[in-house]
């Protein structure tokens, strides 16, 4: 079993218990940071968000079945007050616990059902090269995403495309897609950018990011850009656990060289995963 499969098994058997990210990561034998990244790569959502959704979905089932005491349901779901439970329930489903109990049905409630792992890993992942990356100054357009909302990233690249080659102080023609500032809910900042010599004279709406020197495992993705998630999933779920290396809590990025054709999505790119030394 991969660390993510172990995490799913543990969550399904214990989501009504007082467990958190540390407990889930320990079952998989990995760090909190590693589990967050691997879980998102494999399932499209964070372990914390999935755990929350499973707890609230079971609470919704209890309410729809006519549970008389909402506070008791809240405590069973791990919430210390009616108010905290109602706030989380409304954020998850867009309706209050009272409404679900009154309507006695769930067909209009977007429940989070148990995940069955069905995404296949790559049968052959080209071995990475290990590289000591130099410090980089990256400038471009940044957005904050949840893992569920990251499908908008191609549109972000479309907006940045006209700037390539015209960014003040741009160094070379290589482009970078940098994931950074991630949290345990799977939210992260994504920067479409290029390397620059300095941050002076940049447009006001540009984001700026300093990427320090770092040890990386560099993987080549030679297929169409639309299949990149399968490669990333294989890196986090198979290569890293078996490699003896540990991922560092640092920015990771895609590096698009001159061979990449942004119009067709072909030509390949490199995926840089930061490693602890």
Confidence of residue 252 (pLDDT cuts 50, 70, 90): very high
Looking at the structure, tell me whether residues 270 and 174 fall in a common domain: yes
156-170 pLDDT per residue, tens: 897 898 899 999 999
Confidence of residue 262 (pLDDT cuts 50, 70, 90): confident
Q: Which domain covers residue 255, as residue numbers? A: 129-275
Looking at the structure, tell me whether residues 16 and 136 fall in a common domain: no
**Rounded Cα–Cα distance for residues 190 and 134 (Å):** 20
Looking at the structure, tell me whether residues 88 and 165 fall in a common domain: no
**Number of folded domains that form the chain:** 2
Q: Given CA atoms 125, 130, 131, 132 in this order, what sign does their dihedral have?
A: positive
Looking at the structure, tell me whether residues 162 and 74 fall in a common domain: no
Looking at the structure, tell me whether residues 154 and 264 fall in a common domain: yes
pLDDT in the model for residue 8: 87
Confidence of residue 149 (pLDDT cuts 50, 70, 90): low
Whether residue 25 lies inside any domain: the answer is yes
Q: Are 271 and 219 in contact (CB under 8 A)?
A: yes
The SS3 of residue 1 is coil
Residues comprising the chain, all counted: 277
What values do phi and psi take at 162, rounded to 5? -65, -20
Looking at the structure, tell me whether residues 38 and 82 fall in a common domain: yes
Looking at the structure, tell me whether residues 271 and 161 fall in a common domain: yes
How do strand 170-180 and strand 207-211 relate by DSSP bridges? Answer: unpaired
Whether residue 117 lies inside any domain: the answer is no
Q: Given CA atoms 106, 110, 114, 116 in this order, what sign does their dihedral have?
A: positive
Looking at the structure, tell me whether residues 137 and 262 fall in a common domain: yes
Confidence of residue 51 (pLDDT cuts 50, 70, 90): very high
Q: Which CATH number covers residue 39?
A: 1.10.10.60
Q: Would you call 142 exposed, middle or buried from its count of C-beta atoms within 10 A (0-12, 13-18, 19+)? A: buried
106-139 pLDDT per residue, tens: 999 999 988 876 556 766 888 999 999 999 999 9
């Amino acid at each position: 079993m991969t660390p993510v499969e172990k995490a799913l098994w543990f969550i399904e058997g214990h989501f009504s218990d007082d467990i958190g990210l540390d407990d889930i990561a320990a079952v998989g034998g990995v760090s909190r940071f590693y589990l967050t990244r691997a879980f998102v790569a494999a399932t499209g959502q964070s372990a914390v968000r999935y755990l929350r959704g499973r707890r609230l979905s079971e609470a919704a089932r209890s309410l729809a079945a006519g549970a008389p005491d909402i506070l008791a349901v809240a405590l069973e779901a791990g919430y210390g007050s009616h108010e905290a439970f109602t706030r989380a329930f409304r954020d998850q489903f867009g309706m209050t616990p009272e409404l679900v109990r009154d309507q006695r049905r769930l067909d209009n409630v977007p429940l989070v059902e148990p995940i069955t792992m069905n995404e296949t890993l790559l049968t052959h992942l080209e071995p990475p090269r290990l590289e000591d990356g130099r410090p980089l100054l990256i400038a471009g357009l940044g957005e904050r995403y949840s893992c569920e909302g990251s499908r908008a990233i191609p549109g972000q690249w479309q907006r940045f495309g006209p700037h390539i080659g015209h960014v003040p102080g741009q160094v070379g023609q290589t482009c970078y897609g940098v994931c950074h500032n991630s949290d345990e809910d799977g939210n992260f900042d994504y920067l479409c950018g290029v390397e620059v010599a300095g941050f002076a004279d940049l447009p006001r709406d540009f984001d700026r990011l300093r990427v320090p020197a770092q040890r990386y495992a560099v993987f080549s993705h030679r297929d169409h850009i639309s299949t990149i998630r399968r490669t990333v999933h294989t890196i986090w779920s198979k290569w890293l656990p078996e490699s003896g290396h540990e991922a560092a809590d640092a920015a990771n990025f895609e590096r698009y060289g001159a061979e990449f054709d942004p119009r067709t999505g072909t030509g390949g790119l490199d995926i840089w995963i930061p490693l602890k030394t």
